[in-house]
Amino acid sequence: MRLILIHKQKNGEKTRTLEMFEHSCQTLGIELFLVNVYSYSYFDLPTLGSDDILYRSATGSRAQILEKLLINDSCRHLYTKWDLALHGRGTTYYYHKKHNLPAIPTIPLIPKDREEAVRFAETLGGFPIIMKVTGGSKGVGVMRVDSQESFISICDFLRGNSANILVRKYIEHTYYGRFIVLGGHVIASNRCKSLDGDFRTNTADTPYGEAYVFSEEVQKIAIDAVSVLGLKFGGVDLLFDMDGNAHIAEVNFPTDFGVAQDITGIDVATQILQFLAD
Domain contains 272:
no
pLDDT digits (tens, 9 = 90+) for 135-155: 655 567 799 999 999 999 999
Same domain for 78 and 138, yes or no, is no
Our count of domains for the chain comes to 3
- 150 alpha carbon, distance to own chain's centre: 28
Helix (H) or strand (E) holding 252: strand 246-252
Judge if 163 and 178 occupy the same domain.
no
Prior bond of 254 cis (ω within 30°) = yes
Domain boundary among 86, 115, 150: 86
Give the end of a domain, one of 113, 143, 169: 169
Amino acid at position 99, single letter: H
pLDDT in tens, 14-68: 999 999 999 999 999 999 999 999 999 999 999 999 999 999 999 989 999 999 9
Percentage of the chain beyond pLDDT 90 is 78
Q: Are residues 157 and 176 in the same domain?
A: no
> Rounded to an integer, what distance in angstroms lies between the CA atom of residue 54 and that of residue 33?
10
pLDDT in tens, 167-200: 999 999 888 999 999 999 999 999 988 666 566 6
Handedness of CA 34, 3, 61, 66 (dihedral sign): positive
In this structure, the answer to whether residues 9 and 43 fall within a common structural domain is yes
Same domain, 156 and 197: no
Distance CA(120)–CA(111), nearest Å, equals 7
CATH number at residue 219: 3.30.470.20
pTM for the model: 0.91
Q: Is 96 a domain residue?
A: no
Share of the chain residues as helix, strand and coil, in percent rounded to the nearest 5: 30, 25, 40
State the pLDDT at residue 227. 97
Residue 109 in domain: yes
> Is 176 in the same domain as 164?
no
Asked if the structure places residue 100 within a domain, the reply is no
Q: Is 259 found in the same domain as 180? A: yes
pLDDT for position 193: 82
Residue 258: domain span: 172-266
Domain edge (last residue) among 169, 198, 215: 169
190 in a structural domain: yes
Pair 160, 167: CB distance under 8 Å: no
Residue 189 in contact with residue 264, Cβ under 8 Å? yes
